[in-house]
Amino acid sequence: MKADIAMADPGPTGRFGEYGGRYVPESLVPACAEVEAAFRGAWSDPAFRARLDSLLADYAGRPTPVTRAERLSNELGVDVLLKREDLTHTGSHKINNVLGQGLLTLAMGKSRMVAETGAGQHGVATATAAALFGLECVVYMGEVDTQRQALNVFRMKLLGAEVVPVTSGSRTLKDAVNEAMRDWVATVADTHYCLGSVMGPHPYPWMVREFQSVVGNEAREQCRAILGGADPDVVVACVGGGSNAAGTFAGFVGTDARLVGVEAAGGSAIGRGIPGVLHGMRSYLLQDEWGQILEAESISAGLDYPGIGPEHSWLADNGRAQYRSASDDEVLDALQLLARTEGIIPALEPAHALAWLVRAAKSGEVAAGSTVMMTLSGRGDKDAETVMGLLS
């Protein structure tokens, strides 16, 4: 694999090709620089890494297994392996990142974390880490999402977090990010912004990918153990901002595996967007002809974002990863298929990855007999009420 395609340190500019960067108000430049310096120091500190590894093992439940989905494989005609992030504490991959950023908050001597959330899984994970470390926690969540993810709102409050409904704009994830960044500007002296995906200003896209790379690194070794030393033919994960996909791809970018990210059809930044600047980064964004950001639409609150992480934009441009999309109807069908064949109810987010795989296997885009590793980034408890309503 070419060295220039490896997912590496983007350097002080935070650039992945023409994407990334640090497009923030002057008042936040020192804060971003502080986070970068703290992360660089922590990531090279064996004591920090050892403490994080211990928490991931003894608190979050890592390593998560790779499960061979035999009945699903028989139905699709491809060998499907599932990386089970749904089995972590809090029920998704988000815990990997927030434990790292929680330790970083303590290292910087700060007492408060703010976060944004769409599906609520990052909010729940942040509230969990805040409770564990004794930190104050405020989570911003679009009003639309507080209604369709009421269970996660309750979980965050039970964990001691303040949940602030955002009533501006589309009242979804984009607007929650806006409000969290406004809070950070005003309280930066004692607050760390625990951003939940590989988006935003440098160092967040890189830092979050590194915290999530445990997913791909584990999965690569687990797949090789299952496949007799071979790598999967295809590695697939859903993409909103793209943290579970970035963490997964980081483990396989140096192999010959085909990397596929699957966006929501109504929020397909790679498929329908053009480069622009939002939330401190340059990346592919859904925009109109005047450069105004368009609303994303998705059955899944976690993929309801009008952009994509800058490293994904770069991977798309250089061809190392491919990006596809799935419709709401396909996602509902895929969710039911996995439940029926494997006894696993996925979150709506990873059901997008499965929806593409079902279509690709049937159409021949993924050849019969291929081995496919899919990251199951979260469990479906949070979506049960939404799915029940849609199916009835």
Distance CA 106, CA 111 (A): 7
Q: What is the 3-state secondary structure (H, E, C) of 84-139?
A: EHHHCCCCECHHHHHHHHHHHHHHCCCCEEEEEECCCHHHHHHHHHHHHHCCEEEE
Residues designated as active site: 94, 116, 377
Sheet holding 19-20, edge to edge: 15-16, 19-20, 281-285, 274-278
Distance CA 159, CA 286 (A): 35
Angle between helix axes 204-226 and 29-43 (nearest 10 degrees) is: 30
Chain-centroid distance, C-alpha 2: 25
Sort residue 343 into left (φ over 0), alpha (ψ -120 to 50) or beta.
Answer: left
Distance CA 279, CA 200 (A): 5
**The dihedral of CA 277, 114, 196, 300: what is its sign?**
negative
